[in-house]
Each structure stands twice: as C-alpha cells, then as structure tokens.
C-alpha cells in the first residue's frame, strides 16, 4: 500500500457532502488536500475548519480555465506533486422524462461526465509523474432503477464505463483509475435536487434505510475510507467498489 503521509490530493466538490467528508478524512490521515467548488463561502469555510493541510480554490469543473486553476493549486499545495484526483463534483436532475428539457440533460452531463473527464486530462501529466490515481464517484443509480432519475443514472453509468476504459488506457503510464459506487448517504446534493422537501429531507432519506441490507444509511466518512483504499492500493485499477450497505442487492428489511 502506498504511504499516504504528504500525499497530494485534489477533491472536486469539496465544500459539502461526500467531497467535504473525503477531504477531512485525507487530511486527518496526513495528506495535503486541495478542494474545489463554485461556492466560495462553502469551500473556504471547510478549508479553514480543517487547517493548513487543506487549501480551497474557487472553480468549476465545467470551465476549462477553472480546471487548470484546480490542478495548478493542487500541485502548488502539494509541493510540486499531484498524487490523487477525486472526481466528486456533480449535478443532479430529478423529474420524469416527459418533462425533461434538453438543456438540463446537457448540464448534468457537462458536470458529471465531461467536466470530470477533461479535468482528468488536465491533471494527467502530474499523475503520470507521480504514478498517481484517479477516483471517480459513481452511484448505485447505475445498477438500480429509481424512476425520475434517468439523466443522473445515465451519467453514472457513463462514469463507470469511463473508469474501465481509462484504466486500460492509462495503466501503461502507471496511472490507476477506479470508482466508488455509494448507496444512500445524506448529502446537500440530494436535498438541492429536490429529492426531498427541505423541512423533512433527513426523515425521508432515512425512510429508505430498510432498503439497505445493513438497515441504515452510510456516512461520508465510510465513503472516504473506500476512496483512501483505492488511492493507496498499488495493484488495483479499473475497479468499481460498491459501498452501499447492500442497497444494490434489492432487499428490504422492513
């Protein structure tokens, strides 16, 4: 396993939810982490609360200049290195196909697939130099059908296919590419997407807990542990690690 002390890590969408949890975890175990996001107040507050091991850069994965800024900031903060790229930033659309507007579909793909893919390209020279690792954030939506979530599910299916192709393409250059497929974890993305009414968001999501074989929702810390494993496991690439409490099994513990 690769040592994590002083590892340089870039986490997109690090101002809340899974991204924040991943950033906090990596900093706690000795890495130097750069988080990116569009909301200055969010990412700067997270970085300040973590301390000197975490740096924030305000940027958007859908913007070419923003992607370059993220990579440059991570390399600077990482003392000239970038070891791990965590493609976590994402967008979600909730609604039936009959009401779907093409622009909404485009925006979800721009964030979840195109932005992540092009950021990986921007980071590639540094990842080759460090024999580094890319971790994409997938979703149980790619394996289990949730009506009304077709755009999001389609992007996560694309991300998992992209993981396999890039693992094969970049492996000869020493770069490992894998993916984490989370189950039900309460995040701001779920709430902003309108999956749950703001006033009862947590109660509604927790109502899905029986659909998980382990009978409960996951935490961002548990997802972060999986990301750390993939970042350190030097003979693992092309993997899609399911960390979903058994949600994908289709069981009900009601």
Catalytic positions: 152
Inter-residue contact 54 to 20 (CB < 8 Å): no
Inter-residue contact 13 to 19 (CB < 8 Å): yes
To which residue do tokens 């750069």 refer?
34
- Say how far apart CA 136 and CA 162 lie, in whole Å: 9
Report helix, strand or coil for 246.
coil
Q: Which residues pair with 33 in a beta bridge?
A: 9, 54
Separation in Å, CA 233 to CA 27, 30, 72, 227, 236: 18, 17, 25, 10, 6
Radius of gyration of the chain (CA): 17
Separation in Å, CA 185 to CA 17, 21, 43, 222, 253: 9, 11, 20, 10, 18
Q: What share of the chain is helix, strand, coil (3-state, %, to 5)?
A: 50, 15, 35
Inter-residue contact 223 to 185 (CB < 8 Å): yes
Please report, in angstroms and rounded to a whole number, the separation of the first and last CA atoms in the chain.
40
């Amino acid at each position: 396993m690769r040592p994590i002390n002083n590892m340089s890590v870039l986490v997109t969408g690090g101002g809340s939810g899974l991204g924040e949890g991943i950033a906090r975890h990596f900093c706690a175990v000795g890495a130097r982490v750069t988080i990116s996001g569009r909301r200055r107040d969010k990412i700067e507050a997270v970085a300040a609360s973590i301390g000197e091991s975490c740096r924030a850069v305000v940027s958007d994965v859908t913007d070419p200049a923003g992607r370059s800024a993220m990579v440059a900031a991570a390399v600077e903060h990482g003392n000239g290195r970038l070891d791990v790229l965590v493609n976590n930033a994402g967008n979600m659309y909730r609604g039936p196909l009959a009401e779907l507007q093409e622009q909404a579909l485009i925006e979800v793909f721009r964030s979840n697939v195109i932005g992540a893919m092009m950021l990986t390209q921007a980071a590639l020279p540094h990842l080759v130099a460090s024999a580094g690792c890319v971790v994409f954030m997938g979703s149980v939506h790619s394996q289990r059908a949730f009506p009304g979530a077709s755009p999001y599910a389609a992007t996560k299916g694309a991300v998992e296919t992209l993981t396999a192709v890039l693992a094969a393409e970049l492996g000869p250059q020493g770069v490992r590419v894998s993916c984490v497929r989370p189950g039900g974890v309460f995040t701001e993305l779920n709430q902003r997407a309108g999956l749950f009414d703001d006033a009862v968001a947590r109660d509604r999501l927790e109502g899905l807990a029986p659909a998980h074989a382990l009978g409960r929702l996951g935490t961002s810390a548990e997802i972060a542990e999986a990301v750390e494993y993939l970042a350190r496991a030097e003979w693992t690439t092309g993997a899609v690690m399911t960390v979903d409490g058994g949600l994908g099994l289709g069981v009900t513990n009601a």
